[in-house]
Structure 1
Amino acid sequence: MTDLDTQSTDPDLARLARTVREGVGRLNWRMRAECDAGSPGPTVLAVLSRLIRAGTHTPKELADAERIQPQSLTRVLASLTERGLVTRGPDPADGRRSLIDITPAGRAVLREYTASRERWLAGALDETLSPTERQLLGLAAELLVRVADA
């Protein structure tokens, strides 16, 4: 448990921040644990997700955006290229650089992974929460997205 500096943070806000962090972290861990053992690793998922959300990137842009060491990213990109999940082509603006893009197969892998997590989560919500609690969670989820985007 982390103690925040209560001199600069309202104690109620500090408790709320801790509870949200713990809940989101535990839920994320559980969702990963519930997926198939053959699921892509977190770095692969981060790269594929970034390419879907933000489009074509250079390897440096991907490394910077995902805070991955370039050497680690090189290995990940080689594996993704070999599996046909991304393509690597020359940058028309600068032939010394390459551009990475996701393939339809890469989109399918990410879609299936996401669907499997959402299936597990929907079942857990159905088993655990009342209809009123599910409505409240929906509102809280919208608020979390707003905080994440701030």
Structure 2
Amino acid sequence: MHSEPDVAAPVSADPELADLARRVREGVGRVSWRMRAEAGQGSPGPAVLAVLSRLYRAGTQTPTELATAERLQPQSLTRILASLTGRGLVTRTPDPGDGRRSRVSITPEGLAVLREYSVQRERWLAGSLESALSPTERQLLRLAADLLLRVADA
């Protein structure tokens, strides 16, 4: 007999903590969605941005390291890397320690694409913060942002 998972099961024994988790998830998700929507048509897709961001933050990586870190299927990553290489946004060079592997690096052009996308999103967000929040609320949000970064790194 197969039982359905209980989707109504509480996420925490503490109802206030469960409500906070839901509200943070919803707020972060909606802001993230709006930033992607505001970036406009022709913006890189999420997987492309994830690969470029990873290369920027972590430096040169093997395709296997990229696929693992970004939880991408190797076939998907192969298509993404082919596109990025063709557009001059990344370079692939032989691994000096193992000629069968390659190493992938972001190019200055790739960094420019990544930065422009970030600037577009941050420009929209800064305008929204200015129009929707008081100076005191913006200070509270600054504290909350720092806390979210701590949670993400935990």
Q: TM-score, normalised by structure 1?
A: 0.96
- Report the AA paired with residue 144 of structure 1: L
Q: 1:138 to 1:15 in 2, by over 3 A?
A: same
Tell me the alpha carbon deviations over residues 83-105 of structure 1, each in whole angstroms, 9 at most, x when there is no partner: 00000000000000000000000
Query: Superposed, which structure 2 residues align to 1:62-77 within 5 Å?
Result: 62-77=66-81
Given candidates 5, 26, 29, the residue that maps to 2:10 is 5
State the distance in 2 between where 1:17 and 1:83 align: 40
1:38 Cα offset (Å): 1.0
**Which residue of structure 1 lines up, in the alignment, with residue 4 of structure 2?**
none
Given candidates 132, 138, 146, the residue that maps to 1:134 is 138
The count of aligned residue pairs is: 148
Are the counterparts in 2 of residues 59 and 100 from structure 1 also a CA contact under 8 Å? Answer: yes
State the distance in 1 between where 2:13 and 2:29 align: 21
Identity %: 74
RMSD: 1.1
- Report the AA paired with residue 76 of structure 2: S
State the distance in 2 between where 1:139 and 1:101 align: 34
**Which residue of structure 2 lines up, in the alignment, with residue 31 of structure 1?**
35
State the distance in 1 between where 2:76 and 2:22 align: 32
Runs of 4+ in 1 over 4 A off after TM superposition: none
1:4 Cα offset (Å): 4.8
Are the counterparts in 2 of residues 4 and 14 from structure 1 also a CA contact under 8 Å? Answer: no
Tell me the alpha carbon deviations over residues 105-130 of structure 1, each in whole angstroms, 9 at most, x when there is no partner: 00000000000000000000011001
Given candidates 86, 107, 113, the residue that maps to 2:117 is 113
1:36 Cα offset (Å): 1.9
State the distance in 1 between where 2:57 and 2:77 align: 18
Runs of 5+ consecutive residues of structure 2 not aligned to the other structure: 1-6
State the distance in 1 between where 2:83 and 2:140 align: 42
